Amino acid sequence: MKISGKTAVVTGGASGLGEATARRFYAAGANVFVADMNKVNGDALCAELGDRAFCAEVDVTNADSVKAAFDLAMQKFGAIHILVCCAGSGWIGKTVDKNGPHDLGVFKKIVDLNLIGTFDPLRWAAFHMQNNEPNEDGERGVLINTASVAAFDGQMGQVAYAASKSALVGMTLVVARDLARTGIRCCTIAPGTFETPLTSFLAPEAKAHLAEQTPFPKRFGKPDEFASLALQIVENPFLNGETIRLDGAIRMPPK
């Protein structure tokens, strides 16, 4: 799909991987609808980008908020061609520790944010995309989810996070198959260690240790490298139903 002139919705688009994606897509000529809880940052980003960018305060764990966001995106731009889901978070907690079993409420919260908070925007995006005029390939839209290498080699204490991210991997092919007749593609990116607000709280020695575990390049990923892959997925029509690791060949150890 040629991105210029198309409309992209980016959840979690006011910071980190989402912000980098919004910037790169806008530079490539797309309209960008930033959906984020942090409207102050989102508004600042959109003001910097220009009049093809718009921000809405959206809670991806709230069904009414998600539906309203897609209604607003349609009202603002008239169509939705691309969705990149970057909203999410993590948690550290073992299945059982000295204080007892894992907090079930926290587990549900992480699954609600990372899994349901991806599927809800995805289903509404696909609903609107099916009405788009197809291009010469019969394509109407592209859906991109954000998983994690934790989906494949989650570490101790990542049970909630890994469960939610591996579920995204599991649904990718199914969504691609569900929407194939409609001409909507679905792929997932599984980042390794990246420079994001989530990793900014790590101690310098912890970050250095993780960087050293990455075969090459020995550093954290840059958000624009994620955005670059997202753009490639949009522009390459034969990428579909696949989860792509973006991790410098890291394989996470047990802890």
* Residues known to be catalytic: 161
Cβ neighbours, 10 Å, residue 181: 9
Q: How far apart are CA 238 and CA 88, in angstroms?
A: 27
Q: With contact defined as beta carbons under 8 Å apart, do 102 and 95 qualify?
A: yes
Cis peptide bond upstream of 217, omega within 30: yes
- Tokens linked to 173: 């092919």
- How far does Cα 191 stand from its chain's mean position? 10
Residue length of the chain: 255
Q: Which residues contact 32 (CB under 8 A, 6 or more apart)?
A: 7, 8, 10, 13, 22, 25, 26, 46, 49, 52, 53, 54
- Tally Cβ neighbours within 10 Å of residue 44: 13
Cα–Cα dist 62/50, whole Å? 28
In the chain, which ranges are E strands?
7-11, 31-36, 53-57, 82-85, 96-97, 100-101, 141-146, 184-191, 243-246
